[in-house]
Structure 1
Amino acid sequence: MHAVILAAGEGTRMRPLSGSLPKPMLPVSDRPLVAHTASAAVEAGADELVFVIGYEADTVREYFGDSYRGVPVEYAVQDEQLGTAHAVEQALEYVEGDFVVLNGDDLYDTAAVGSLFSHTPSLGAYTVSDPRPYGVFSLDGDRVTDVVEKPDDPPSDRVNVGAYHFPAEAAAWFDDVEMSERGEYEITDVVERLVAEREVRAVPVERWLGVGRPWELLEANEWKLGELDGRIEGKVHADAELEGRVVVEEGATVRSGVVIEGPALIREGATVGPNAYVRGATLVDEGAKVGHAVEVKNSVLSPGATIGHLSYVGDSVLGRDVNFGAGTKVANLRHDDDDVKFTVKGERTSTERRKFGVVAGDGVKTGINSSLSPGLRLNAGATTRPGETVDRDR
């Protein structure tokens, strides 16, 4: 069984975090986002993984190499991002027999992926309260009878989440897909043909998250950090207090006076403290530093990120090698208590989160005592002056 994992897209809605890193390779707990999908496929019984890569392709190759968890890996290159059907078509030279296709920037519960592998043909179906923005399945029991894209009057509350088990003959259908009005070759055309010609099972997906925007990366980490079992392999000072599910990897250091309330992951080469407070679902990635008297709450610190002493960072995502100067404070709550908004592709978009702080691209540096407003976007390499209050994207 081959598992085709789509990981070629640029991820423009995830900017500034995806400026030089593919969205599927952004950090979620102890591995990149796409590695959670790959792990689920391996556990489900995949004999080979085929990654469709494009944007910053070498980053994916370097991580997975020629095998992952004992399963061989192949790479298909999508030079132009011309849609999901076009992406799968690039992988078909490596595929024999039935095959599974999964989105590399989505998280699926492992049991659902296993069930998808067990039934041919089948489609992953997730229950949502408002299905109108999605492709929606019409169902007869657990059989899919139709797929309707973004309907005003949805036929059910079960939606398409980009998880497909195709029979072998479907491989030939991808060549027949015509370009859509959006200028893409879309996998939904193949799905519609599959539903029309075969008896297709809807596989229940109990938990799913499409990770397309920065605050969804926070949600992804909240999910996966919550699944960790606590363990201490690095250096933890006797005066430090670790509560709940906390992982301190080998090579990490937790200094005196530190309090960590899990779920939290302190990765290899990272340092915390002294006298720091880490709480909520927080990832302190490889080589990241949390300084003296710093509080970090429900945040992601990418590799090499540093938060200088006497700072507060809440509900935020910091890219690689970010350096927050001493006394930098992040505000994560609006005075009117409304949901925080964030700029996505030039438009202010509700995060649907009451608390959301800052998204800082790679290499951002703040001057000492900088104050950063909720929902602030700092593009890669941006800087602030000492004592500056920043309330507009930079």
Structure 2
Amino acid sequence: MQTVVLAAGEGTRMRPLTDRRPKPTLPVADRTLVEHVVDGARAAGASRVVVVVGYAADGVRDALDDRDVEFAVQERQRGTADAVRAARECLDDAPFAVLNGDVLYDRDSLAALYEGGPAVGACRVDDPENYGVLETDADGDHVRGVVEKPADPASNLVNAGAYVFPAAARDWLDVGKSDRGEYELTDVLERTCETMDVRAVTVDRWLDVGRPWELLAASEWKLGDLKRRLDGEVHPDADCRGSVVVEAGATVDAGVVIEGPALVRSGASVGPNAYVRGATLVGEEATVGHAVEIKNSILMAGATVGHLSYVGDSVLGRDVNFGAGTTVANLRHDDEPVIVRVKGKPTSTGRRKFGVVCGDTVKTGIDTALNAGVVLGTGARTEPGETVRRDRDR
């Protein structure tokens, strides 16, 4: 099955993590997000893969440098159907699949989608108002249409954003221009439903990675799939428990306790006497200092957490430097889900525990305290001993 992967967007809801890189290149366990998508498509049966790039295209190309893929360029951001239109000349006169470059699916569900089209991935959710709700026949086996973000949804069966279209759909990518001047794949899906039966394929597991806490959830998922491997330099007095991966070129010092699933990437160092637990990624060249505790977090390449610090349920961008004694709060006193501002709007993470989001090159002074849900923008600074209760751009 020829497959188009959409990886041209800016990822504005993921800022500040995407200030300097496209969202598909964010790290998820041992590879980038878009690598997971491409590898998943190949494992499910994709015969060829065309990746549509746009914003910061070179970053996506670099991430996929060792993958057998073709590239197409979307010149302007004019919707998902317009992105596929950019890849149209790369497609044979045959059915084709479309996947989003920032959505993870389990392999078996993708394989079921690829078995025959037209088809659309379908998933049941608790809160369908924020999705495209699928209209189906009485048996729920075939899709009749889709209603975008309905105020009163007729069901909780939603569009999971994975499609198999007939070859004829290459000629339908220009239909249904929206009020925003964009061409969307949901309009192509509607056209397909008008002319032929469209299978509703149940997706057992999927994750739309659009916001920082969803990147953390993606890391939790993929780190959980890793098998124990200690290729780096692990001190005899270190204790690595469970599915811990220490890559060649990484070091784990004396007195360190790591409870998997956890990944320490090449060039990273942990300890001495540090405690790493939960689903934690310690990225390339990152440093976890003396007596630091890291819990269920992502430290991107070059991030440093100084000695006697605590980081929980957080995402730290590249080259972040936490001064000694920096403490992250990850739990509200009222036990309600932590709120994070996304594009200026307070948004529930749905998570009882969530810490902070730091863009690249953030630096904190010693003994800084960061409140749950705080976002520190790219290059932001804090003063020694400061308590930060609100987001900070710089």
TM-score band, normalised by shorter chain: over 0.9
Whole-Å Cα distance in 2 between the matches of residues 251 and 13 of structure 1? Answer: 34
Whole-Å Cα distance in 1 between the matches of residues 335 and 166 of structure 2? Answer: 50
Whole-Å Cα distance in 2 between the matches of residues 392 and 160 of structure 1? Answer: 35
Where 1:352 maps in the other structure, the secondary structure is coil
| CA deviation after TM superposition for structure 1 residue 135, in Å | 1.1
Tell me which amino acid in the other structure corresponds to 1:131.
P
**Map of 2:79 onto structure 1:** 83
Whole-Å Cα distance in 2 between the matches of residues 388 and 34 of structure 1? Answer: 37
307-316 or 73-82, which deviates more: 73-82
| CA deviation after TM superposition for structure 1 residue 157, in Å | 2.2
**Map of 2:111 onto structure 1:** 114
Gaps of at least 5 residues in structure 2 are none
| CA deviation after TM superposition for structure 1 residue 339, in Å | 1.5
Whole-Å Cα distance in 2 between the matches of residues 309 and 109 of structure 1? Answer: 38
**Map of 2:368 onto structure 1:** 370
Whole-Å Cα distance in 2 between the matches of residues 183 and 169 of structure 1? Answer: 23
Match among 123, 135, 138 for residue 135 of structure 2 = 138
Whole-Å Cα distance in 1 between the matches of residues 5 and 244 of structure 2? Answer: 30
Mapping of residues 41-52 of structure 1, within 5 Å: 41-52=41-52
Tell me which amino acid in the other structure corresponds to 1:78.
Q
Match among 129, 132, 136 for residue 126 of structure 2 = 129
**Map of 2:95 onto structure 1:** 98
Task: Give CA-to-partner distance per residue, 1:19-41, whole Å, 9 cap, x none.
Answer: 01111111111111111111111
Identity fraction in percent: 63
Whole-Å Cα distance in 2 between the matches of residues 267 and 189 of structure 1? Answer: 43
| CA deviation after TM superposition for structure 1 residue 42, in Å | 0.6
TM-score by length of 2: 0.97
156-165 or 292-301, which deviates more: 156-165
| CA deviation after TM superposition for structure 1 residue 191, in Å | 0.3
Tell me which amino acid in the other structure corresponds to 2:190.
E
153-162 or 10-19, which deviates more: 153-162
2:145·2:189 contact (CA, 8 Å) conserved in 1? no
Whole-Å Cα distance in 2 between the matches of residues 275 and 338 of structure 1? Answer: 33
Where 1:348 maps in the other structure, the secondary structure is strand
* Aligned pairs, number: 389
Where 2:145 maps in the other structure, the secondary structure is strand
Tell me which amino acid in the other structure corresponds to 1:15.
R
TM-score by length of 1: 0.97
Tell me which amino acid in the other structure corresponds to 2:390.
R
1:139·1:156 contact (CA, 8 Å) conserved in 2? no
Tell me which amino acid in the other structure corresponds to 2:209.
V
Whole-Å Cα distance in 2 between the matches of residues 18 and 213 of structure 1? Answer: 10
Question: How large is the Cα RMSD of the aligned pairs?
Answer: 1.1
Q: Which runs of 4+ in 1 moved over 4 A?
A: none
**Map of 1:263 onto structure 2:** 261
Whole-Å Cα distance in 1 between the matches of residues 334 and 134 of structure 2? Answer: 39
**Map of 2:379 onto structure 1:** 381
Tell me which amino acid in the other structure corresponds to 1:184.
E
Match among 248, 272, 277 for residue 250 of structure 1 = 248
Task: Give CA-to-partner distance per residue, 1:75-113, whole Å, 9 cap, x none.
Answer: 111121111011110011101111110011111111111
